[in-house]
Homo-oligomer: A and B are copies of this chain.
Amino acid sequence: MPTPASPDRPATVPNADRGTPDARRLTDAVTRLRRALRASIRSDYPWETLPMAQVELLQVLAEHSPARIGDLATRQRLATSTVSGLVGQMITSGLVARATDPGDRRVSAVTLTDAGHAQLAAWTRAHERRLDTALTRLDTADRAAVRAALPALFRLAEHLDDSEH
């Protein structure tokens, strides 16, 4: 990445770490991780890999058997229209099924199909293997730091979106 012929500023510090505010470093970290995760998954399962958004819905459904669209949306903090679309695709590919709730015919109860269970299991296996490998390459301190930060990161996300005025 050397910019061959360019002043490039009087060279503050080659390592842009200190001096960079946490806000930006955090944002950068999230972006990088997201991209790395996506790329990593694709390189593992080049053939027809599931879109992340669909995997997330499958995960929720694996724990909360019949779920309504609205609940899925709330839990994932997505617009209902988004979930509706996702579920539509997943029905087409046979991962989930939609049944009309007999008690209230407006709501549709979404459930995992066997294919859905199988796909989720396969995806999870591959993904965990890949991510665990990367985690193993970190030294003990780093690994501990990541693990320790997880709950804090969730809380941070919550603060961010419930201050959504």
Q: Using CB atoms and an 8 Å cutoff, list the residues of chain A in contact with chain B.
A: 1, 3, 5-9, 16-17, 21-37, 39-40, 43, 52, 56, 59, 63-68, 71, 74-75, 77-78, 103, 109, 124, 127-128, 130-135, 137-138, 141-143, 145-161, 163-165
Contacts and interface: CB of A to CB of B under 8 A. Distances in A.
Given A65-B3, A153-B146, A159-B137, A128 B33 contact: no
Given A5-B103, A22-B147, A146-B149, A133 B163 contact: yes
26 contacts: A1-B71, A3-B64, A3-B65, A6-B109, A16-B63, A21-B128, A21-B132, A23-B131, A26-B33, A31-B34, A32-B154, A33-B156, A35-B78, A36-B156, A36-B157, A36-B158, A36-B160, A39-B161, A39-B164, A43-B165, A138-B156, A145-B145, A145-B148, A145-B152, A146-B149, A146-B156
A35 B157 CA distance: 8
B66 A6 contact: yes
Interface of A is mostly: helix
A16 B59 CA distance: 12
Contacts of A40: 160-161, 163-164
Contacts of A52: 31
A29 to B, nearest CB: 4
A126 B111 CA distance: 42
Which of A28, A32, A68: most chain B CB closer than 10 A? A32
B145 A26 contact: no
Nearest to A124: B24
